[in-house]
Structure 1
């Protein structure tokens, strides 16, 4: 059914977004010497040398090595070693018997690593340490701080009902905050570790965004040949991975340039490189090239469509656009501005191309219904929020979140992640979507609430649709600061549910589960210092330079 012509005066708004700072020519000029096969051969040699040094490692050393390998971005290089080491630790450590305060570092580290990798470990293993530590909270010292730091990290693996871990989190957080003011903490490495952890625990961090920091931090601590080899391998692996990512970015830059969409619209953010950064955080390993490619394309369109609904379109235009996306039929758009029609055609063409590429690469059945439906749901949610804006309606927080978890883009990004990592085995895609639906909801909440925390001030100033901050302020008659604390508590509580999903995932499911969780981790990073998409801030620019432009200097001959 065709749409009637609309002759409605509508004032086009502007978000005054900053222009793209990464030009097409600049991206195409990026080069890396580490594409040469000689570097891959060198990396293999370093891996062999490292493995030869691990024959007689003690349990404590082994668990530290697993932790270091993970933080240095080498988990994919040492997958079998990590699994064998954690199997050994889980089966040989007496995880039900608490030891003395001297064992706290080892036990807390083992607890964190085992839970992060899906091993069932009771919080009870930490109870005696906490009972011993709380009376000593006034004590301050280097050794004690290192143990409390690891306890703080372990506490972020809590699930609902883990009251012991909640007690550990409260105590360790306060201890670490207070410790920064003590004179003894003059060790730069430990001081930086404390500050880094308080800013964001490792379980919430994006591994690849943190890897350069971890390489430089660990390099200062190396004290034997094993560690030196590991640091050099981490540097080389980073540079090799960076060279691969540069080539992928250049290819995507050519696609975006050839599409020419951004030249046809004047209301949207042009953020291809930032979108690619997001996908690197979700999956940086070589085997996920298809996922990065498809996610980047989807992410660029999420921004465009979001800006269409938030900034440009009238309610009548947006209603037509939503119906067009639901039906994948441009007939509804005939009377709308040319830029909206161009936007729809670009979305439809790109979605069809993504569908074809996934089906070809994965040798799977028609998946178009899944992507088409997800885009339709996304647009319907945005339309609801546009109605709130146009009618000056401020919903309750509960009503807001019923729509906002969908418009967070979490379901859409999670769907693409599942589609690109399907193994085409007996369990159907429908089953995979069903078994991950709770996890997708949880990570979508974190995406939306983290976004709101980072963008609420600018959105209030522009008069955009209400955010969770404003909804709670009105509903609870709370101050902005109180509302932000409430939202942060929801995020923290949601992580407990995510931790349960991670722990309940089978070994086969774990890789996909971790990829979906990474979507939330990336979002928390992007919005931790404000809106890292709309305003490419210092953190975002620094990450792009560090991960895609500047290699790490090698030290060994």
Structure 2
């Protein structure tokens, strides 16, 4: 079952169909986002091209910001430049200044030794430069931190008084790789120190305790970018040292980008109504809005409208098909449905006796074929074999979990993970994402996608395990046999639920470290990568939206007030 679409199933009853098949019925909550409401949104003034028109009214402000980014000079001016870049990115403006930011960081990288090799180096400047440079794909040596450690390799106690530096070091530590023990030490050191400082009294315009508690709740590197942009704009607005040009531009941009989302959402709402699955498949969930929010988490840039809509369609279909395997179909029917997807032949619908399964298969078949046609038309490449394989892999993983449940079998943790990272659906989403980006498709990239490159594996694991942490208790109460918690306990790997949860949290952190390294090897600074930096960013963002969706519970299956407010903030309510 898909981690993206696992639900809080509530009580599960049985009902008898016309064919006297005993079926389960999940107590899913209906969508709170009606078609009429979504089409009442005012998007008349949204003009995507205006966001990048060099003659628009924002041009003067953009020129001022570009000058702020590109500052030559001593370490002090470099620190100012880095802080401006950090503010720009956290305010959600990074997509407007990519060229200027990359150019400025390239210059800083070339002179990094002069910046960090000082008699009294700044912890804040060192950590901030490390984080921003590594985030943009530059190879930065860990030696920059040695000056802050003692002979035993531990960070010096005197650093605890530097709250700004500690926060910067804490955030930088989450850009680490597996073998980088100094960053593990940095995270442990700063986490402990910042927890002790979390009750500091704020000075006006400073907001120290709020910054510390926000960072400790979830690091910046793991946060959904548009949601963080909204929060940061509101916090920056209260800051005594806020740059008013940056602030005004951030507000204008946020609202304009939000208008682009609303236009996309109305298109998706029309598609969802036309396809008719919400009415025809009464056993499944109606989660169009949550799936659209998911797509914004993966690709937020306004110009990537087609990609966002494609991911939304794929995510909705995953949710529906997951319900087929988890709630509706008998084991015999699920085997036939899996076979139909593997064959990918419209005539395969004839082997499906149930009307609702026929509708589901044809909706999948037609939607995916249309996507493949668009890619063939635009790029001259037939990607349908890769899309078919990805869907077949997903359905086979769903089927295996259905068989485990039917047979009351608890797999080993290794068995579970080998299947669950595929059933999380992240790999399938990323395969579609690669083709929907409309980039130059290479044979090397196709091979990587087909063979499930690690860049697909790590966000898949983060999605699966984040979901498990959020939903495992409810699943265990319902008697599910195949969850990471039950598999860890059943195999004797851990003694109790708390130990299992800690083990899973560590696996999530290790997956982030592996993804950080793969992102750098196959990302921005690589000249031989089969993947573009845009695709690497989408893979990273998938892990981020997974942690956002499952931060407080099951945000797809059982969206609560927190999810509703996040959707309102990012998509519906302007600043």
TM over 0.5: yes
Kindly provide the CA deviation profile for residues 371-417 of structure 1, in whole angstroms up to 9, marking residues without a partner as x.
11111110000000111001111111110011101101011011011
Deviations 1:9-38 (A, max 9, x none): 753223312110100000011114652688
Aligned to 2:239: 221
Task: Give the secondary-structure state (helix, strand or coil) at the position aligned to 1:35.
Answer: coil
> Residues 53, 328 of structure 1: CA spacing in aligned structure 2 closer, same or farther, 3 A cutoff?
closer
Q: Does 1:320 align with 2:336?
A: yes
Alignment gaps of 5+ in structure 1:
1-5, 553-557
* Corresponding residue number in structure 2 for 1:371: 387
Structure showing the higher helix proportion among its residues: 1
For residues 345-384 of structure 1, what are the structure 2 equivalents within 5 Å? 345-360=362-377, 362-384=378-400
Any residues of structure 2 matched to 1:77-476 within 5 Å, and which?
Answer: 77-94=96-113, 98-99=117-118, 103-131=122-150, 137=157, 141=161, 144-182=162-200, 189-221=207-239, 223=241, 227-329=243-345, 330-331=347-348, 333-334=350-351, 336-360=353-377, 362-424=378-440, 429-431=445-447, 433=449, 437-475=453-491, 476=493
C-alpha RMSD of matched pairs (Å): 2.5
Conserved? CA contact 1:137–1:175, under 8 Å: no
User: Secondary structure of the residue that 2:96 maps to in structure 1?
Assistant: coil
Is the CA contact 1:444–1:520 (under 8 Å) kept in the aligned structure 2?
yes
1:528 to 551, 557, 562: 551
Q: CA separation of 1:488/1:202 partners in 2, compared to 1, >3 Å: closer, same or farther? A: same
Q: Give CA deviations for 1:499-542 in whole Å, capped at 9, x if unaligned.
A: 11112124362221111111111111101111000111222211
The 3 A distance-change label for structure 1 pair 322 and 401 is: same
1:28 aligns with 2:39: yes
Superposition deviation, residue 76 in structure 1: 1.4
| Structure-2 change in CA distance of 1:483 and 1:138 (3 Å) | farther
1:49-80 deviation digits (Å, cap 9, x = unpaired): 33355665611100111111111111111111
Q: Is 2:560 aligned against 1:542? A: no
Q: How many residue pairs align between the two structures?
A: 542
Q: Distance in 2 between matches of 1:540 and 1:469?
A: 25
Kindly indicate whether the alpha-carbon contact (under 8 Å) linking 1:33 and 1:243 is maintained by their aligned counterparts in 2: no
2: CA distance between counterparts of 1:524 and 1:129? 32
- In terms of mean alpha carbon deviation, does 69-78 or 107-116 score higher? 69-78
Moved more, 399-408 or 428-437: 428-437
Aligned partners of 1:53, 1:107: CA distance in 2, in Å? 20
> Offset at 1:163?
0.7
CA contact (8 A) 1:320 1:333 kept: no
Question: Shift of the alpha carbon at 1:314?
Answer: 1.0
Deviation readout 1:339-373 (Å, 9 max, x if unpaired): 1111111111111122222333x323111111111
Cα distance in structure 1, aligned partners of 2:79 and 2:68: 15
- Going from structure 1 to structure 2, the CA distance change for 1:474 and 1:44 (only over 3 Å counts) comes to same
Using the alignment, how far apart are the partners of 1:301 and 1:522 within structure 2?
18
After superposition, the Cα gap between the structure-2 partners of 1:68 and 1:10, relative to the gap in structure 1 and judged at 3 Å, is same
Change (3 A) 1:279 1:272: same
Q: Secondary structure at the match of 1:131?
A: coil
* Corresponding position of 1:3: none
* Segment of structure 1 superposing worse, 279-288 or 426-435: 426-435
Judged with a 3 Å threshold, the aligned counterparts in structure 2 of structure 1 residues 249 and 135 are, in CA distance, closer, same or farther, namely: closer
Q: Residues 459, 205 of structure 1: CA spacing in aligned structure 2 closer, same or farther, 3 A cutoff?
A: same
How far 1:222 sits from its partner (Å)? 5.1
Query: In the TM superposition, what is the alpha-carbon distance from 1:223 to its structure 2 partner?
Result: 2.9
**Normalised TM-score (structure 2):** 0.89
Distance 1:525 1:55, change over 3 A: closer
| Whole-angstrom CA distance in 2 between matches of 1:399 and 1:158 | 28
Q: Residues 162-204 of structure 1: CA distance to partner in whole angstroms, max 9, x if unpaired?
A: 0111111111111111211455789762211111111111111
Q: Does residue 72 of the first structure (1) align with residue 91 of the second (2)? A: yes
Q: Tell me the equivalent position of 1:43.
A: 58
- In the other structure, the counterpart of 2:574 is 551
* Equivalent of 1:512 in 535, 538, 545: 535
Q: Is the 8 A contact 2:331 2:403 kept in 1?
A: yes
1:287 aligned counterpart, secondary structure: coil
Check 1:157–1:139 CA distance in 2 against 1; reply closer, same or farther (3 A cut).
Answer: closer
Report how far residue 161 of structure 1 moved: 1.0
Counterpart residue number, 1:555: none
Correspondence for 1:482: 499
Runs of 5+ in structure 2 lacking a partner? 1-16
Residue 16 (structure 1) aligned to one of 27, 32, 37: 27
- Once the two structures are TM-superposed, the CA of residue 474 in structure 1 deviates from its matched residue by 1.6
Q: 1:358 to 1:38 in 2, by over 3 A?
A: closer
Judged with a 3 Å threshold, the aligned counterparts in structure 2 of structure 1 residues 489 and 100 are, in CA distance, closer, same or farther, namely: farther
Aligned CA distance change for structure 1 residues 55 and 109 (closer, same or farther; 3 Å):
closer
| Aligned-partner SS, 2:319 | helix
